Each structure stands twice: as structure tokens, then as C-alpha cells.
Amino acid sequence: MSQASRAAAPSPAAAPAPGALPSYLDPSHLGPWGIYLQQVDRVTPYLGNLSRWVETLKRPKRSLIVDVPIELDNGTVAHFEGYRVQHNTSRGPGKGGVRFHQDVTLSEVMALSAWMSIKNAAVNVPYGGAKGGIRVDPRLLSRGELERLTRRYTSEIGIIIGPNKDIPAPDVNTDGQVMAWMMDTYSMNQGSTATGVVTGKPIDLGGSLGRVEATGRGVFTVGVEAARHIGLDVSQARLIVQGFGNVGGVAAKLFAEAGARVVAVQDHGGTVYREAGLNVPELLKHVAEHRTVAGFADGEKIADDQFWQVDCDILIPAALEGQINKTNAGKIRARMVIEGANGPTTPEADDILQERGVLVLPDVIANAGGVTVSYFEWVQDFSSFFWDEDEINARLVRIMKAAFNAIWLTAQEHKVSLRTATFIIACTRILHARELRGLYP
Ligand code: GLU
């Protein structure tokens, strides 16, 4: 980007449009944290005696807001706001990703950290929940600026992270390179190399085979299990996917290999459609080159709002929060929604889908494959002994299947949605650990 266009770029902490209330002051806007609190309220009646501890889940244990100043390439200084929230550490150290996005807020990071607590307990990995983020549009930064931002942020949150305290990982707009800078910064400050401080690292720095694909593989694994329960033949299924990065792209590839037809894909650049099924490997190549599905020659461009009504069996939202809401939930034709993203369905939409008999596989189990392989990476780093990819994938599939089937049984037993069932299992585990540990002092 030229210096001139940089100068014209919006200020990182740009105020909302005049007259518009910021979302956290708008009473009609529940927001991700409000949504999470509602989910906890829904599960409380199923927690028995443990419900006396439920308030623990409604308050993040620790929230850190940091100023992240960096020198831009043009010599000026820009300030960004960063966060790291540790929602709960009853079952182990905090664990969860770091996102770089222009819409990141404290309340969003709080909700994402809480969903990590639920997710980690749902697949029974020995972690609490945490999340971090910086309010920044990383597309407006050069590589050098991105590195300085990452390093300063890591230094600022260095007081609360560590291999035994809280272990960040990639999330929206962060990747193995960002994790390498985080690992290096933390290690430099410590005086020795600590590979276990972050997961999702490049393989040559203690990363794990299979980690990049793990979230998409987990989405596919639970999707196949659920399809079996509802008598849906995956090899004949029609699939639509929103978001075609690490999660949506990998899940689409695995479903296509199993015979499913991927008829529509949407991302930030547009929507492509092909009745006979898109060629997923070719579309992945196109995205690697152009960073969007838009312009893919072997498909038809359709309007973005038409995506939701495409006839399909399976819908995978794998982008951002709040994408399935009361305006589009009534149009969705899928039999099953697999939440690759975190928080893609608003509570109103959840109710509409349930009334219409659409099965929703909630984020807190559907996308737990990523953190499950993060756990494997952390274990491998500690033992300095690395497993082969077949072993990692086999262990991942075993954990995801067992967790999903336990959730399925709980949902049947209590006649509740899979989301509430996942919360029942996870909250019970967290609060049981909390009770065993007792209140200090
Ligand atoms: N950011 C991913 C998630 O939301 C992975 C977190 C991790 O591996 O710690 O689950």
C-alpha cells in the first residue's frame, strides 16, 4: 500500500457514524456477551446442585485491556486497543485464539473466551477458556507493521500468558507466522525458547502436523456423525459454505471427497454457485491466489443475500458471528447447520431453525477440532516428541466422535437442543472442577 493511501485509511479507533449508537450502548443489540449469558441461563436448570456456582460462568476471571502503540512505515505512531480475557481456569490454563479485526471489542472477546471454556470442557481437554484480540484491520498494515503490532501486543499481555498460564493460538486473521512472532517475543522476554506458549505454530517451530486442517476436519467429523443420526447420506448431500479459509475450505474439501456436492460458497468478496457442484480443489487454488472466491471462472456469481436460500442439505457458516439471524433464518433450506465459525447464529435464529426442524451443530462442539489439535501440539512441545499425521488425525476423530455422541445422548435425554446439551456437559465439568477446588481463601 502506498503512503498516500495509508494516510487516507480510516483511523484505527474510528468512531461510529454520526447518530449511530455504538453497539455496546444500543439496548436492542444483545451482542455476543449478552448471547452467551442467555445460553448460560438456559442451561442453569439442568445443573442440579452445581447451579450454586453458576455465577462463576457469568464473570470472566481476568480481563486485560492493553494499548498497543507501533511506529508505522511512514514514521507516524498509531495506537491500537488489544485484549486478553481469561474467562475460566478451573480445569487448567487459559486457552484460545487471538484475532485481528476492525470490529473487535472487549465484550466480543469476553464472549469468545467464555465459548472457549465451554468448548474445551465439551471435548474434555484440560484447559480453561481464554481469548484475545486487537481492534485493527490487518489488511491496512504492511508486513513489518503487522510484526511490530504482534510483538508489542505479546509483550503487553506477557504478564498473563505462558505455557502453564494461558496459551494463545490463531483465530480470525492470525496464522502460523503471527504465532511464530508471538512465541519469539515471549521467549526473548523470558530469556529462553518456550515453544509451548502458543499453538498453531509453523511445523519447524514446534507446530503440530494436522493443526491447520484440524478445525475443518472436526467440522466434517461431527457432520458425518450427525448425518448418520438423521439418516442423511453425505455422499449425496448438497452443501453450501460461508467463509472459505482454514475452516470452510478444509471442511468443503473433505465433504467433497466424501461425495457431497458443494453448490455455493460465499466469502467477503462475493458468492459463487454451481448447480452441478463447484470444483473444490480448483476453488481453493483460486482463493490462494486471489484471496476471495469472487471471480472464480467455473461458477456463476449470485447475489450475496441469495446464498441463504440456496437449496441444500448442509449449511456451514465458517466466517464471523451473527451471520444467521432473524432476517435469513426463515429462508434456510438446509436440514443441518454445522457452525464452523464461533457464534454465527443469533438466539432468535436458533429458535427459528429449531422450530423449522433444522438441526444445528453448535460451534462449541462443531469447531472444537482446532483446539483439540492445539492440545496435541502443546503436549508434543512439552515432551519434545512429535507424532505423525495419521496418529494426530485418528486421535482427533476419536475425541470428536466421542464428544459429539455424548452430546447427542444428553440432548435426547433432556429433550434439548444440541447447544444446550453441549452446555450441560461442559458447564457440569467446569463447575464440578470449581467445586472440588473450593473457594480461596
Ligand atoms: N481460535 C480457535 C477456536 O476458536 C482455536 C483456539 C486454540 O487452538 O486455542 O477454537
Q: What is the 3-state secondary structure (H, E, C) of the chain?
A: CCHHHHHHCCCCCCCCCCCCCCHHHCCCCCHHHHHHHHHHHHHHHHCHHHHHHHHHHHCCCEEEEEEEEEECCCCCEEEEEEEEEEEECCCCCEECCEEEECCCCHHHHHHHHHHHHHHHHHCCCCCCEEEEEEECCHHHCCHHHHHHHHHHHHHHHCCCCECCCEECCECCCCCHHHHHHHHHHHHHHHCCCCHHHCCCCCHHHCCCCCHHHHHHHHHHHHHHHHHHHHCCCHHHCEEEEECCCCCHHHHHHHHHHCCCEEEEEEECCEEEECCCCCCHHHHHHHHHHHCCCCCCCCCEEECHHHHHHCCCCEEEECCCCCCECCCCHHHCCCCEEECCCCCCECHHHHHHHHHCCCEEECHHHHCCHHHHHHHHHHHHHHHCCCCCHHHHHHHHHHHHHHHHHHHHHHHHHHCCCHHHHHHHHHHHHHHHHHHHHCCCC
In this structure, are residues 83 and 108 in contact, taking their beta carbons and an 8 Å threshold?
no
- Mean pLDDT, to the nearest integer, of 49-55? 97
Specify the CATH number for the domain of residue 231: 3.40.50.720
Please identify, by atom number, the ligand 1 atom nearest to the C-alpha of residue 371.
8
Percent of the chain residues past pLDDT 70, beyond the cut: 93
Q: Exposed, middle or buried: residue 438 (CB in 10 Å: 0-12, 13-18, 19+)? A: exposed
- Mean pLDDT, to the nearest integer, of 350-363? 97
* Per-residue confidence (pLDDT) for residue 12, from 0 to 100: 39
Residue 158 domain-assigned (yes or no): yes
pLDDT at 27 over 80: no
In this structure, are residues 32 and 108 in contact, taking their beta carbons and an 8 Å threshold?
yes
* Per-residue confidence (pLDDT) for residue 329, from 0 to 100: 97
Q: What's the CA-to-centroid distance between 123 and ligand 1, angstroms?
A: 13
Q: What's the CA-to-centroid distance between 34 and ligand 1, angstroms?
A: 21
Q: What's the CA-to-centroid distance between 199 and ligand 1, angstroms?
A: 9
Please identify, by atom number, the ligand 1 atom nearest to the C-alpha of residue 199.
8
Please identify, by atom number, the ligand 1 atom nearest to the C-alpha of residue 96.
9
Residues 89, 111 within the same domain: yes
Sign of the torsion angle spanned by Cα atoms 86, 91, 92, 98: negative
- Which residue out of 215, 247, 250 has the highest number of ligand 1 atoms within 8 Å of its CB and is therefore the one to mutate? 215
Residue 310 domain-assigned (yes or no): yes
Residue 132 domain-assigned (yes or no): yes
Integer Cα distance of 370 and 54 in angstroms: 27
* 6 or 211, higher pLDDT: 211
- Which residue out of 116, 172, 222 has the highest number of ligand 1 atoms within 8 Å of its CB and is therefore the one to mutate? 116
* Of 366, 393, 425, the domain-final residue: 366
* Per-residue confidence (pLDDT) for residue 429, from 0 to 100: 98
Residues 107, 168 within the same domain: yes
* Per-residue confidence (pLDDT) for residue 10, from 0 to 100: 38
* Per-residue confidence (pLDDT) for residue 299, from 0 to 100: 97
Residues 279, 333 within the same domain: yes
- Which residue out of 100, 171, 363 has the highest number of ligand 1 atoms within 8 Å of its CB and is therefore the one to mutate? 171
Residue 251 domain-assigned (yes or no): yes
* Per-residue confidence (pLDDT) for residue 316, from 0 to 100: 98
pLDDT at 22 over 90: no
Residues 288-340: tens digit of each pLDDT: 999 999 999 999 999 999 999 999 999 999 999 999 999 999 999 999 999 99
Please identify, by atom number, the ligand 1 atom nearest to the C-alpha of residue 112.
4
pLDDT at 16 over 90: no
Residues 133, 157 within the same domain: yes
Residues 360-405: tens digit of each pLDDT: 999 999 999 999 999 999 999 999 999 999 999 999 999 999 999 9
- Mean pLDDT, to the nearest integer, of 341-347? 94
Strands of the sheet with 129-135, listed across from one edge: 62-71, 77-88, 129-135, 98-101
Instruction: Provide the pLDDT confidence category of residue 9 given band limits of 50, 70 and 90.
Output: very low
Integer Cα distance of 441 and 439 in angstroms: 6
Sign of the torsion angle spanned by Cα atoms 229, 235, 238, 240: positive
Residue 405 domain-assigned (yes or no): no
Structural domain range at position 222? 213-366
- Which residue out of 374, 376, 400 has the highest number of ligand 1 atoms within 8 Å of its CB and is therefore the one to mutate? 374
* Per-residue confidence (pLDDT) for residue 30, from 0 to 100: 76
Residues 242, 358 within the same domain: yes
* Per-residue confidence (pLDDT) for residue 248, from 0 to 100: 98
Q: What's the CA-to-centroid distance between 130 and ligand 1, angstroms?
A: 9
- Mean pLDDT, to the nearest integer, of 249-273? 98
With cell 488489544, the residue in question is 82
Please identify, by atom number, the ligand 1 atom nearest to the C-alpha of residue 99.
1
Q: What's the CA-to-centroid distance between 370 and ligand 1, angstroms?
A: 6
Residues 183, 221 within the same domain: no
Task: State how far the alpha carbon of 385 is from the alpha carbons of 232, 332, 335, 382, 388, in Å.
Answer: 40, 46, 43, 8, 10
* Residues recognised as catalytic: 131
Integer Cα distance of 203 and 226 in angstroms: 32
* Per-residue confidence (pLDDT) for residue 80, from 0 to 100: 98
Q: What angle do CA 34, 414, 411 make, to 5 degrees?
A: 75
Q: What's the CA-to-centroid distance between 68 and ligand 1, angstroms?
A: 22
Strands 336-338 and 359-361: parallel
Any residues with Cβ below 6 Å from ligand 1, and which?
95-97, 169, 171, 199-200, 342, 367, 370-371, 374
Residues 170, 225 within the same domain: no
Number of independent structural domains in the chain: 2
Specify the CATH number for the domain of residue 104: 3.40.50.10860
Residue 254 domain-assigned (yes or no): yes
Q: What's the CA-to-centroid distance between 405 and ligand 1, angstroms?
A: 21
* Per-residue confidence (pLDDT) for residue 74, from 0 to 100: 98
Mean pLDDT lowest among 16-25, 29-38, 143-152: 16-25
Residues 160, 276 within the same domain: no
- Mean pLDDT, to the nearest integer, of 183-197? 98
Instruction: Provide the pLDDT confidence category of residue 19 given band limits of 50, 70 and 90.
Output: low
Nearest CA to ligand 1 atom 8: 371
Residues 156, 222 within the same domain: no
* Per-residue confidence (pLDDT) for residue 28, from 0 to 100: 55
pLDDT at 69 over 90: yes
* Per-residue confidence (pLDDT) for residue 3, from 0 to 100: 36
Nearest CA to ligand 1 atom 9: 96
pLDDT at 1 over 90: no
Phi, then psi, of 261 in degrees rounded to 5: -105, 115
* Of 201, 224, 254, the domain-final residue: 201
* Per-residue confidence (pLDDT) for residue 31, from 0 to 100: 87
Instruction: Provide the pLDDT confidence category of residue 6 given band limits of 50, 70 and 90.
Output: very low
* Of 347, 366, 385, the domain-final residue: 366
Residue 194 domain-assigned (yes or no): yes
Residues 248, 298 within the same domain: yes
Residues 192, 231 within the same domain: no
* Per-residue confidence (pLDDT) for residue 149, from 0 to 100: 99
Residue 335 neighbours by CB under 8 Å, 6+ apart = 230, 232, 313, 314, 357, 358, 359
Average pLDDT, the chain: 94
Please identify, by atom number, the ligand 1 atom nearest to the C-alpha of residue 95.
9
Integer Cα distance of 127 and 125 in angstroms: 6
Mean pLDDT lowest among 30-34, 84-88, 119-123, 233-237: 30-34
* Per-residue confidence (pLDDT) for residue 7, from 0 to 100: 36
* Confidence (pTM): 0.93
Buried b (16+ CB within 10 A) or exposed e, 258-269: bebbbbbbbbeb
Residue 419 domain-assigned (yes or no): no
Residues 83, 105 within the same domain: yes
pLDDT at 15 over 70: no
Residue 200 neighbours by CB under 8 Å, 6+ apart = 97, 169, 170, 175, 176, 179, 207, 211, 212, 370, 374, 377
Q: What's the CA-to-centroid distance between 129 and ligand 1, angstroms?
A: 10
Instruction: Provide the pLDDT confidence category of residue 20 given band limits of 50, 70 and 90.
Output: low
